[in-house]
């Protein structure tokens, strides 16, 4: 073992043994592997529930893999969707966005009585009760005449206290009868929320009769998402996005069953997070004194999202996109003039990363302020020239026989080891796959983003899980990308069905914040994110743009009625104003 | 320039010290009179004062409110003044005095801007204490025009707008509820207006929706002034009631030759007014009848109308006068004072009832000077400088306008009621209404509230930037202040204070 590496390990311990012995060993072995990379590489780090050899992958049955990978143990696999039984004349059919996996309906109109409308559930659950209050307002936005045939919804949930994580059961069934109570059954409260969202779209106020009605009853809907991870990326570094802005965004996400905020919380431009462990990061790195999040703010966002079935996945992009770290802690950067990638030659960098991650994770799987088990480590756009041009780092690389790319690998792996030791699975941008491929821990989730990239095919073929958010088609900062283009993408193109089902977790729309603040974040995101949401939720064969158009127009009007600043669907450029007077359905 | 005083709009008079005093988020509101409206306000302001979880403790932990009248109806001349005292230590409570609950709301808005969260200590603080503020608006009527005809603006959108207005002490929505493009209001008396005249079945307001908006606004000290523009800007009335229009090919101005037109107007107005002063769903005593841009050619081109005019011995302009006066008479009979766009002054001048309020809007117009000289009350919202649909008009341009230019002080004080920013809706729907209105309406808000001498855009710049950031923190989609075109995106990464 190279004495230098031993020194690193000893230093880590001398600093208070903040890292577990397991992590030390992992780092140690990783470093051994790196130091002798050309002879043999040791790919594996901490134990992972998702580790398969390619042989194992081939030998395990498809069904078992789905259960294992999506934590579906004990939950029966959903049935294959069938074709809708009735093709109704109405254009906005079915009047549900995103399109449900399976449904049938009739031709009658039933009325719903808003006066004394009852939400009932066999068990009393705080989250469910809070949801009932929210949905009552969504169901009945207008004062109405008394009366209506249906006056209750009965909600049955199989398992309460299921922590909101990747792969939890979000399925539901919804029955709207001709009379008697509406019935919802779901595996979890999260499934129940989706059922209530669907129901909120079916209940329509009739201005002529002043009654709430459901058209085309009876409805029988069996619904579940095609992909388990349906995100929007929120960038709070290029512009600060206040807590209220994020909470308003969360409300809007739920309307389209988008279930993750991928919170790109810091980047080179600003560091708006007040880390309790490293307070100078936010104090020195934020745009201004008020443009910061306390750890309580983060916790409030996480809780607000959790109550609505939305996961918060934190991204701490490293070693690139980290220039804002230098202001508070100059030691972790190569130099003032050349601030990033972060300095790989000092333990100060990894100590800080460890402490910063722990602010979010609490150090234990499923724990901490951000209990989400996925943590995004970025890893993209690493230009190593600051390493080579900073004498101390260049010398350190030379001493350790590391090329810049090996240094990048070392950094990525050590950062991953820290996240693993805190019980997190790691997500990284596709460069880490492009550079290190199958050298990465098998639990690593690769996020495809480069324009025209097809790495999802390659990565899934090697058993890695992927997220799909390709630049040029699912980047929301691409203002000339229309909803129709977004709608027409297919994350599983070129990927065999079994790998699509178990390794393509989903993806989402990436709202990079260079020109987005509170003033335009909603109208840049909406309505286009709805197109992505339907792609990620609905059956693969729901692809017809002309069928989708009246539905997304109606959904856009619904968003507007709920106060969401969704822009016209027909504008060639995102967030542009309506071209002239007109009804929201035609713009 | 600095963010001093850190209050938007600039108060009438104030003194302050140099002490920083902490505020305990376990905060109590106590008023000298019981009022459900005040209790509801206290809940709202508690959330505005303390948006972050913080360490408990702090020197100031309550506000004592002396209010004289908690039942006064919100109208044009309601007293909105207040005093606010924030001590520099814990020997006294924060105290507010006001005549009405509306003055209390204004005091609490000011206080909400002075309480700032300190991220480093995780405590709330007021800087530069002690503060002694005596404040009242320079003008009584500080409006934004909301146009729900060119685009339907949902109830939720209007409520969100009302919340934002209160932050800048804007106190009126001038609700241009219908126009030629669509008729989104479901009149109980004439139901076909909304049924046939709206853009789509969901793009309508029920009578209860209007009542909810009025009540939501009232609880926040914001008046709702309805505009039913007539006889022009009324083509959307025809699909439901073709009789009130000249013909199916020449839709407006409304038909002056039939009582059907005036019957419909009386019924439609009564839906809002209830027929009595201070009553009805919209209890505001000002009712805007538009009266602008009346092109009489449809009257002269429609044989039945032309012959009726000839019978009466009316020229086209006399017919216009007859129409305006009859519409006003209907409104007066229902206990309302009439507001009209300046064309009615330009055409009929002192022939108009003295209670008529003239709304100046034409670019370059100086009608306010002439109308006040003749004893008429005026509102000021001149196109080109206070029209919010003018996207090239910057906040600085809006800020440097003066409604009383050329008007003697005594007439300025008594007859210039105020004015406001007009958000015509041709390219404005829920997606962009907030970013088109804000932050520019704040410039108008300060002009209408603050002393006449507060005019320096250089001094206002930092304060405006801070107020924009505050709006953003409260979830209002206020655009950057430095962009040359309204509602354009920030040009690149940066702090909200710099953009």
Question: Which residue in chain B has the smallest CA separation from A247?
Answer: B475
Please tell me the distance from the alpha carbon of residue B264 to that of residue B238, in angstroms, as a whole number.
Answer: 12
Q: Mean pLDDT over residues A190-211, rounded?
A: 97
What is the pLDDT of chain A when averaged over all its residues? 89
Strand partners, A111: A213
> Hunting for tokens 């480069």 — which residue is that?
A450
| Percentage helix, strand, coil for chain A under 3-state DSSP, each rounded to 5 | 35, 15, 45
> Hunting for tokens 């601030």 — which residue is that?
A339
Contact residues, chain A, for B476 at CB < 8 Å = 518
Of A77-81, A561-565, B112-116, least confident by mean pLDDT is A77-81
Q: How confident is the model at residue A430 (pLDDT cuts 50, 70, 90)?
A: very high
Which of A167, A312, A259, A264 has the alpha carbon at shortest distance from A510? A264
Please tell me the distance from the alpha carbon of residue B294 to that of residue B296, in angstroms, as a whole number.
Answer: 6
pLDDT higher for A379 or A40? A379
Query: Residue A14: pLDDT above 80?
Result: no
Which of A394, A466, A396 has the alpha carbon at shortest distance from A432? A466
Can you read off the two tokens belonging to residue B460?
A: 């206002």
Say which DSSP state B91 is in: T
Distance (Å) from the alpha carbon of B125 to chain A's nearest alpha carbon:
13
Inter-residue contact A101 to A223 (CB < 8 Å): yes
pLDDT at A61: 58
Contact between chains at A208 and B157 (C-beta distance less than 8 A): no
Can you read off the two tokens belonging to residue A57?
A: 């992958």
Of A79-93, A349-363, B10-24, B440-454, least confident by mean pLDDT is A79-93
Mark whether A10 is an active-site residue.
Answer: no
Q: Mean pLDDT over residues A22-51, rounded?
A: 38
What whole-number percentage of chain B has pLDDT above 70? Answer: 100
**Which residues contact residue B322 at a Cβ distance below 8 angstroms, ignoring those fewer than 6 apart?**
B256, B312, B314
Q: How confident is the model at residue A123 (pLDDT cuts 50, 70, 90)?
A: confident
Please tell me the distance from the alpha carbon of residue A92 to that of residue A186, in angstroms, as a whole number.
Answer: 26
Inter-residue contact B189 to B268 (CB < 8 Å): yes
Q: Mean pLDDT over residues B277-289, rounded?
A: 98
* Residue A104, number of CB atoms within 10 A of its CB: 14
Selected catalytic residue, list B72, B215, B293, B402: B293
Q: Angle CA(A173)–CA(A176)–CA(A178) in degrees, nearest 5?
A: 150
- Give phi and psi for A228, each to the nearest 5: -85, -20
Cβ–Cβ contact A480 with B under 8 A: no
CA distances from A187 to A67, A308, B10 (A): 15, 16, 56
Contact between chains at A248 and B475 (C-beta distance less than 8 A): yes
Q: Mean pLDDT over residues A526-542, rounded?
A: 98
Q: Mean pLDDT over residues A37-44, rounded?
A: 32
What whole-number percentage of chain A has pLDDT above 70? Answer: 85
Q: Mean pLDDT over residues A272-290, rounded?
A: 98
Residues B358-402 pLDDT 10s = 999 999 999 999 999 999 999 999 999 999 999 999 999 999 999
- Give phi and psi for B32, each to the nearest 5: -75, -15
DSSP string over A127-193: HHHHHHHHHHHHH--S---S--SB-EEEEEES-SS----TT----EEEEE-SSS-EEEEESSHHHHH
Q: What is the ipTM of this complex?
A: 0.96
Can you read off the two tokens belonging to residue A218?
A: 């009876």
Question: Hey, is A14 helix, strand or coil?
Answer: helix
pLDDT at B56: 86
Q: Mean pLDDT over residues B240-248, rounded?
A: 97
Contact residues, chain A, for B124 at CB < 8 Å = none
Q: Mean pLDDT over residues B219-239, rounded?
A: 98
Selected catalytic residue, list A381, A409, A431, A490: A381
pLDDT at A60: 60
pLDDT at A58: 56
Query: Residue B210: pLDDT above 90?
Result: yes
Question: Which residue in chain A has the smallest CA separation from B434?
Answer: A519
Inter-residue contact B257 to B298 (CB < 8 Å): no
pLDDT at A59: 66
Contact residues, chain A, for B212 at CB < 8 Å = 143
Which of B222, B111, B225, B108 has the alpha carbon at shortest distance from B165? B222
Please tell me the distance from the alpha carbon of residue B293 to that of residue B407, in angstroms, as a whole number.
Answer: 26
- The gap from C-alpha B362 to its chain's centroid, in whole angstroms, comes to 19
pLDDT at A483: 97
Inter-residue contact B50 to B86 (CB < 8 Å): no
Question: Hey, is A273 helix, strand or coil?
Answer: strand
pLDDT higher for A36 or B427? B427
- Give phi and psi for A581, each to the nearest 5: -60, 150
Query: Residue B421: pLDDT above 50?
Result: yes
pLDDT higher for A123 or B223? B223
Contact residues, chain B, for A239 at CB < 8 Å = 490, 493-494, 496
Q: Mean pLDDT over residues B80-98, rounded?
A: 96
Can you read off the two tokens belonging to residue A133?
A: 């209050």
Query: Residue B17: pLDDT above 80?
Result: yes
Question: Which residue in chain A has the smallest CA separation from B425?
Answer: A581
Q: Mean pLDDT over residues A28-51, rounded?
A: 37
- Testing the interface with A: which of B493, B494, B497 to mutate, by most A Cβ within 10 A? B493
Inter-residue contact A322 to A377 (CB < 8 Å): no
Q: Mean pLDDT over residues B210-236, rounded?
A: 98
Inter-residue contact B305 to B255 (CB < 8 Å): yes
Inter-residue contact B182 to B149 (CB < 8 Å): yes
- For B206, the closest of A207, A294, A581 (CB atoms) is A207
In which region does residue A86 sit, left (phi positive, over 0), alpha (psi from -120 to 50) or beta (all else)?
Answer: beta
Residues B148-177 pLDDT 10s = 999 999 999 999 999 999 999 999 999 999
- For B119, the closest of A294, A564, A579 (CB atoms) is A294
Q: Mean pLDDT over residues B312-316, rounded?
A: 96
CA distances from A372 to A168, A299, B106 (A): 12, 12, 43
Please tell me the distance from the alpha carbon of residue B463 to that of residue A530, in angstroms, as a whole number.
Answer: 38
Inter-residue contact B224 to B288 (CB < 8 Å): no
- Testing the interface with A: which of B120, B281, B429 to mutate, by most A Cβ within 10 A? B429
**Most distant CA pair in chain A, distance:** 83
Query: Residue A22: pLDDT above 70?
Result: no
**Straight-line distance from the first to the last Cα atom of chain A, in angstroms, rounded to the nearest whole number:** 67
Inter-residue contact A267 to A324 (CB < 8 Å): yes
Q: How confident is the model at residue A365 (pLDDT cuts 50, 70, 90)?
A: very high
Work out how many CB contacts closer than 8 A connect A with B: 208
Cβ–Cβ contact A239 with B under 8 A: yes
Please tell me the distance from the alpha carbon of residue B232 to that of residue B193, in angstroms, as a whole number.
Answer: 16
Question: Which residue in chain B has the smallest CA separation from A517?
Answer: B490
């Amino acid at each position: 073992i190279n004495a230098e590496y031993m020194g690193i390990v000893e230093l880590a311990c001398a600093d208070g043994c903040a890292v577990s012995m397991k992590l030390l060993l992992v780092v140690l072995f990783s470093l051994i592997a790196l130091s002798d990379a050309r002879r043999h590489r040791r790919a594996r780090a901490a134990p992972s529930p998702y580790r398969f050899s390619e042989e194992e992958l081939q030998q395990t049955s498809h069904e078992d893999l789905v259960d294992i990978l999506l934590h579906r143990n004990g939950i029966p696999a959903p049935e294959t969707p069938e074709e809708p039984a009735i093709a109704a004349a109405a254009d906005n059919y079915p009047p549900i966005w995103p399109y449900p996996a399976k449904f049938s309906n009739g031709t009658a109109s039933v009325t719903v009585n808003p006066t004394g409308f009852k939400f009932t559930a066999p068990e009393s659950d705080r989250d469910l009760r809070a949801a009932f209050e929210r949905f009552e307002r969504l169901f009945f936005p207008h004062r109405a005449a008394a009366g209506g045939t249906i006056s209750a919804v009965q909600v049955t949930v199989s398992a309460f206290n299921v922590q909101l994580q990747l792969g939890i059961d979000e399925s539901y069934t919804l029955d709207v009868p001709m009379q008697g109570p509406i019935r919802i059954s779901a595996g979890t409260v999260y499934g129940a929320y989706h059922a209530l969202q669907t129901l909120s779209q079916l209940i329509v106020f009739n201005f002529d009769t002043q009654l709430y009605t459901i058209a085309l009853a009876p409805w029988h809907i069996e619904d579940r998402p095609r992909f388990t991870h349906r995100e929007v990326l929120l960038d709070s570094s290029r512009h600060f996005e206040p807590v209220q802005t994020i909470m308003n965004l969360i409300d809007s996400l739920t309307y389209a069953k988008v279930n993750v905020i991928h919170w790109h919380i810091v980047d080179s431009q600003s560091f708006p997070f007040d880390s309790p462990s490293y307070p100078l990061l936010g104090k020195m790195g934020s745009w201004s004194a008020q443009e910061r999040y306390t750890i309580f703010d983060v916790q409030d966002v996480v809780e607000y999202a959790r109550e609505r079935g939305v996961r918060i996945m934190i991204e701490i992009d490293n070693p690139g996109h980290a220039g804002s770290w230098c202001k508070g802690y100059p030691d972790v950067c190569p130099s003032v003039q050349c601030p990033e990638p972060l300095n790989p030659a000092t333990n100060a960098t990894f100590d800080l990363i460890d402490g910063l991650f722990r602010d979010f994770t609490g150090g234990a799987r499923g724990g901490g302020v951000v209990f989400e088990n996925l943590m995004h480590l970025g890893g993209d756009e690493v230009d190593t020239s600051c390493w080579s041009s900073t004498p101390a780092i260049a010398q350190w690389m030379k001493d350790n026989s590391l090329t810049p790319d090996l240094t990048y690998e070392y950094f990525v792996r050590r950062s991953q080891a820290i996240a693993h030791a805190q019980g997190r699975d790691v997500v990284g941008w596709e460069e880490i796959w492009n550079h290190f491929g199958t050298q990465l821990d098998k639990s690593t989730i690769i996020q495809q983003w480069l324009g025209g990239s097809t790495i999802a095919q390659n990565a899934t073929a090697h058993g890695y899980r992927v997220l799909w958010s390709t630049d040029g088609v699912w980047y929301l900062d691409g203002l000339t990308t229309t909803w129709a283009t977004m709608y027409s993408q297919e994350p599983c193109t070129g990927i065999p069905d079994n790998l699509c089902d178990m390794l393509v977790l989903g993806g989402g729309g990436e709202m990079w914040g260079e020109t987005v603040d509170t003033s335009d974040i909603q109208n840049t995101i909406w309505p286009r994110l709805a197109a992505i949401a339907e792609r990620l939720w609905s059956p693969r064969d729901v692809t017809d743009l002309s069928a989708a158009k009246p539905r997304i127009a109606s959904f856009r009007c619904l968003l507007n009625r709920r106060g969401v600043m969704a822009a016209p669907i027909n504008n060639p450029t995102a967030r542009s104003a309506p071209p002239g007077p007109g009804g929201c359905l035609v713009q | 320039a600095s963010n001093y005083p850190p209050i938007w709009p600039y108060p009438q008079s104030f003194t302050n010290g140099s002490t920083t005093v902490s505020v305990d988020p376990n905060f109590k509101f106590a008023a000298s009179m019981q009022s459900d409206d005040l209790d509801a306000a206290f809940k709202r302001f508690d959330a505005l004062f303390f948006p972050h979880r913080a360490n408990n403790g702090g020197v100031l932990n309550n506000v004592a409110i002396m209010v004289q009248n908690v039942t006064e109806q919100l109208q044009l001349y309601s007293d909105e003044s207040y005093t606010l005292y924030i001590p520099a230590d814990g020997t006294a409570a924060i105290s507010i005095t006001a005549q009405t609950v509306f003055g209390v709301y204004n005091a609490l808005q000011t206080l909400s801007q002075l309480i700032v969260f300190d991220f480093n200590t995780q405590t709330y603080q007021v800087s530069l204490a002690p503060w002694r503020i005596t404040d009242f608006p320079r003008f009584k009527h500080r409006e934004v025009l909301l146009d729900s005809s060119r685009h339907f603006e949902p109830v939720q959108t209007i409520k969100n707008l009302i919340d934002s207005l209160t932050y800048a002490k804007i106190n009126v929505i001038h609700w241009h509820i219908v126009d030629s493009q669509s008729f989104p209001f479901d009149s109980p008396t004439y139901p076909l207006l909304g049924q046939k005249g709206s853009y789509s079945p969901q793009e309508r307001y029920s009578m209860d929706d209007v009542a909810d908006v009025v009540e939501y606004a009232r609880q926040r000290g914001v008046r709702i002034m309805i505009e039913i523009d007539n006889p022009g800007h009324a083509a959307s009335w025809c699909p439901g009631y073709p009789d009130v229009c000249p013909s199916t090919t020449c839709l407006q101005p409304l038909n002056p030759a039939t009582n059907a037109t005036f019957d419909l107007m009386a019924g439609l107005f009564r839906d809002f007014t209830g027929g009595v002063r201070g009553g009805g769903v919209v209890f505001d005593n000002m009712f805007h009848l538009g009266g602008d841009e009346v092109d009489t050619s449809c009257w002269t081109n429609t044989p039945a109308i032309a012959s009726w005019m000839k019978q009466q011995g009316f020229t086209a302009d006399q017919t216009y006068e007859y129409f305006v006066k009859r519409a006003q008479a209907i409104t007066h009979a229902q206990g309302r004072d009439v507001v009209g766009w300046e064309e009615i002054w330009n055409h009929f001048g002192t022939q108009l009832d003295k209670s008529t309020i003239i709304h100046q809007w034409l670019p370059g117009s100086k009608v306010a000077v002439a109308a006040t000289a003749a004893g008429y009350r005026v509102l000021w919202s001149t196109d080109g400088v206070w029209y919010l649909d003018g996207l090239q008009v910057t906040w600085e341009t809006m800020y440097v306008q003066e409604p009383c230019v050329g008007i003697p002080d005594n007439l300025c004080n008594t007859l210039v009621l105020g004015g406001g920013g007009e958000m015509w809706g041709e390219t404005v729907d829920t997606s962009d209404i907030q970013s088109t209105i804000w932050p520019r309406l704040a410039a108008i808000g300060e002009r209408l509230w603050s002393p006449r001498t507060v005019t320096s855009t250089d001094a206002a710049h930092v304060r405006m930037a801070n107020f924009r950031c505050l709006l953003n923190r409260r979830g209002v989609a206020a655009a950057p202040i430095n962009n040359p075109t309204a509602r354009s995106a920030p040009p690149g990464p940066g702090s909200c204070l710099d953009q």
